[in-house]
Structure 1
């Protein structure tokens, strides 16, 4: 019996020791722990329970638990403390034994702060419930606890599917997010406060949409409670950005200068074209290329809300027009510049052509009526001379009247030629033969101190024309050349064949497409001034002394060539001589589209860099257009000084120099090339000039790196000589 008691005492002692160890463990837990017997009474409570219930342990132990007890359940319970405060706890029930009897272990964790944080998250998210952005709120495990209405539409999921879903699974459909990126996002959200970035989502219909997501932390007393994710569809924004980019590119890449002004008339923006033009005009800032009083124009634009076009503005030989447009709502003004130099040149050509046409009609009418009067004068004079009643003095007087009327008749014939009303006897002609037959007469006309040189184009194609009229053209030009060379010189006549292309026609209103014979007549005389040059074909216009000329010589030439469906160009510089280029069509039919395509297919371009030097703005623009179309890179200058500066800056890039010979400023194209070749003797050069090659050869030596291209030249001829020069 005593042995049995010893065994029971030993068992009780071990059980007591075990329960004591259990109590010590429970007492150290952060959660409140209660031991509840099967009748529902609390048999034990740890110190945390006292804190959770806000009551002393004596008010907890031996009293009913007060909440349903079901093993294995996790539930939330509301606890009312003695002071009236409300606590929310998460309750977990575990079956155990206590003092040898079955019991329940109730583990309670205070989740009051967490619930408050979740409510805070819900409140914050609910503020965005009507926003067209997908809003998700998560707990501290990134499980979704709230979403706004748009999130269901955005993620194409119902509310049930969103509940407790993993945030990353939604942001990265297909669970293709790497653990490394997950960790990176979590680190930023929990430590730095937020993460943001662009993502791409594939909708159920297969369309990929760009999205932008911000994930922000939700904390309470530096304890991470959850996250708030806001995602927006970037599709419309991307389209808007693309549109804005295109709109921004409009002023940036506009070939014309674009400048923006603030309400204070300060320059807030200028595009690359404005900057480039500033340099071309040798100015330091775009404000220096603006028209005068531009500040007043800016103020008036904003004041009246009306666009204003400034008067034409001429700078460095170029004419510009500026248009100012107000943007009142932003208090800005945009200004656009247009170089109208070429347009004005073409308008001048048109006005001159119309003027010459009107003068021609007048001259023809006057010549016709005057011829009738002269016929009567001549007839009655002849009748009177043949009467018996006149003495010798009377007959002499009438003979002088007859001579005067004959001279007047010659003048009217010239007027008829100018007005293109002279009777034309058309036949097929070889202009080489016409020149050959006239050469002896021309030598007698120009005198011994002037040398006549003729260069015939071999196998020249025939033109349809009047031989007598073309002889008259040669004679009139030779007489003019002789008068321009009183101390002697050279008269050079050259024939060639040119194929006029569409681009050339756009810069010369009188030109026509197709193949033409070009008859060039050059002299080394005194030249024609820039003021006189536009008037030389007008009838009765002359710079010769009284009695030395009628002013009808060049008018007659003009009329005859127009009657032959051709045109004339003139190049002249004082003390440098003059060249007349006369174009007569070989074939009156214009090039067909097929011929133009064939023509263009024969043209070969390149990618080399060319220094283009040309003082005539209209020619510079034309040649630049050709070079760009051929694929070349261009550096352009309007005089030798600017060209020399460009050479110094880009000499390693420049493959060829294409320069006019006669230029303003006292430095010719030849001088420019000589200076450059002192530093680089291998540079390729193409000289251009309206003068003949013989006149050029008097001033420079040509070698295998020097070519000559006579003006005017066509697309095809320029393309061909460029490749010859560059491929040597």
Structure 2
């Protein structure tokens, strides 16, 4: 405490506490002025009281030894010793101010943390809310201080976690919270119980780390692993499935020569078509799971639409009306029939699922020329002729929010177990691989229309098949058939003998090599599978080349892999057959091999 002159601020009186705290003697103080020890704090406000109590202000005071004191002073005007004076009462706030500064610095550090750091009391009222929490949940500090967690971002109260916290003082686990925007937020949460000096619970320090995107990536990774497993499984079973389908297809060719009545031939066509469709499905699975490229040929899409409409009429619920419409002069496209069939099928299955109470599906196709305006409005579109396939339904339709996500892998609106979220992702992938693009229009309660635009050759489709060179019958040539599947060997022998050839058979590479070594002067060509037990097809071909460098070989497989083709091409193989194959494809391949020159190898699909 001091008394200073009101005009000169010279110390008139000083108490013992000031002498002890500042280090000056009483005599030294009385020769000094207040401004020699005090400067106001720029960052401190002033609290003004009434005249009787004066004003309280924050100051920086300096001791004799140079130490800085942070003080709060109150000045009162008083008469003293016959003159105007000021009574200065000072409280040392140094430690308090330093503590406040430390708190601010710590709060700033907490705000720099990417984690959400929250302090709440035992009634779940928020006491502290850092900027990380603002970023994660969307509520700012002003909104959350004093608010209850259970009424804001906490969806369900974790009673078991609170019990463990009170028992052990800590709890860790994963929780699903909710942001201000209503989105799910997944966090790794760490709770620490804050106690009073007497050990009683006071508050809870919560540190939440956002793992929402990580969990999404983990989920997609697991799904991708399952998809890779599907690819591995598909590769493994493709050989076996195609081995099953091969004798069926070849037998149809044999039976056509033995029967000529219309009903039988019609049934054979159905069997052959079904077997070919099964083979196409196997290829489609491989295409999706492993990225295997399909065969691109000139296609008339109205046949594809008509065929799919028949399938839907037989398999979809009877309360769904199916209509088709396309012009007679529809242009052709270059594409893979199986993949484009899959595109339309996926769209129609989605349409069916959107109409549980029944409705209508309309499949149509038309020729269009894309102009500059339309191309600028649709990413992926190019100027020129396109064929448009449209699949429309009268179903439930989609919201704009749903339409934004429908092509995302694994996104589905169907119930668990009824949708993989891969259907439209497959559609968009196939359409883009064909150089096309896709548009969608949908309205809730009205229906949805998908439009698939495919580049056109602008040629009119023909219903008449191109005339092929007739297959010449064999002249008794001896063919060595090598396959570990008895039905395939039997079907091959029947097909060959029915078309003027003779055949020997071997069930693996070792038997075939021994037989060829004995009869190589008689054997005109070898037809061999790749995957066999004792000696596989690649090893057999390599061994045959050592015995006879001019041996003519056709290699077949249920799943021809590029690495096998490269090796076999290096060994001089010029013809490959993808199982299952028809008698026609087999005979054409054989005819080509028997006339073999140094032309490029041919893969017969």
For the aligned pair, the TM-score class normalised by the smaller chain equals: 0.3 to 0.5
- Larger RCO (CA within 8 A; separation ≥ 6): 2
